[in-house]
């Protein structure tokens, strides 16, 4: 499984756009990039998944360059409730026998 | 609410005691996973089931740990002779495996709220 590297923590202010970058240099052809969000005392929650280029849903956007060695999770106009840990994962297509989490990025949104 | 549920939410026990946790997955999900999470770390995979069959176990799952999913629905995780190092959040997740005929590329895992175990 490809290892992922992301910043340990980030701070932002309400209303700003937040971009969290993740590197996954050893990503394989059939791997997908997936992001989860976790609030304190809760289980992780799926945010978004992509393979290449750009994916957007009601919560976030995911940008993946052509070489797929990195990806950027973009959260538009964050609010205090977006304070959470964000995990970048690389997942083998159709498998998902297990998820391999790193330490994630602690995002703190300030008023 | 038809999400994943876990019971109990909190468990405090003395070292050497046995504990059992229960997970009720989303009803139509055929895959069920157990993870363990310690403070400041991401969840670590322990084991998973496809229906009632336990298909994979992590090296983290020592002989003191046993998991079952007898009817392919709910699951239990038992820890025997608990140690202080077992203190952690135990998370359960479920997913629907579309199989080879499925069109989805990834079967999203839905996590429960976890059971926080404290071993004194």
Average pLDDT of each block of 10 consecutive residues along chain B (120 residues)?
90 98 93 94 93 89 94 94 97 80 63 97
Neighbours of B23 (CB within 10 A): 26
pLDDT, position B101: 47
How many Å lie between the alpha carbon of B91 and the closest alpha carbon of chain A? 7
Q: Which residue has the tokens 């009632």?
A: B52
What's the confidence (pLDDT) of residue A61? Answer: 97
Q: Which residue has the tokens 């003191």?
A: B64
**Rounded Cα gap, residues B47 and B58, in angstroms:** 6
Asked if B7 and B77 count as a contact pair (C-beta separation under 8 A), the reply is no
Instruction: Determine contact: A106 vs chain B, CB below 8 A.
Output: no
A81 close to B (CB below 8 A): no
Q: Kindly give the parts of chain A with pLDDT less than 70.
A: 1-2, 93-97
pLDDT confidence of residue B56 = 87
pLDDT value, residue B60: 83
Distance CA A80, CA A39 (A): 12
Task: Describe chain B by its helix, strand, coil percentages, rounded to 5.
Answer: 0, 45, 50
Q: CB–CB of B111 and A44 under 8 A?
A: yes
Q: How many angstroms separate the CA atoms of B42 and B37, rounded?
A: 6
Q: What is the pLDDT of residue B99?
A: 58
């Amino acid at each position: 499984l490809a290892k992922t590297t992301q910043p340990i923590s980030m701070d932002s202010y309400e209303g700003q756009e937040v971009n969290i970058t993740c590197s996954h240099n050893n990503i394989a052809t059939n791997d997908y990039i997936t992001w989860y969000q976790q609030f304190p005392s809760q289980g992780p929650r799926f945010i978004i998944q992509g393979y290449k280029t750009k994916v957007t849903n009601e919560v976030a956007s995911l940008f993946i360059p052509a070489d797929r060695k990195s990806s950027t999770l973009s959260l538009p106009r964050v609010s205090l409730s977006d304070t959470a840990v964000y995990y970048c994962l690389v997942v083998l297509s159709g498998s998902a026998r297990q998820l391999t989490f790193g330490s994630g990025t602690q995002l703190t949104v300030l008023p | 609410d038809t999400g994943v549920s876990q019971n109990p939410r909190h468990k405090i026990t003395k070292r050497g005691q046995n504990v059992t946790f229960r997970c009720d997955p989303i009803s139509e999900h055929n895959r069920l996973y157990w993870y363990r999470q310690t403070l400041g770390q991401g969840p670590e995979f322990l084991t998973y089931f496809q229906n009632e069959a336990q298909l994979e176990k992590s090296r983290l799952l020592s002989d003191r740990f046993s998991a079952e999913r007898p009817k392919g629905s709910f699951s239990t995780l038992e820890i025997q002779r608990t140690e202080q190092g077992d203190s952690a959040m135990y998370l359960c997740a479920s997913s629907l495996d579309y199989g080879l005929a499925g069109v989805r590329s990834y079967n999203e895992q839905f996590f429960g709220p976890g059971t926080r175990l404290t071993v004194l």
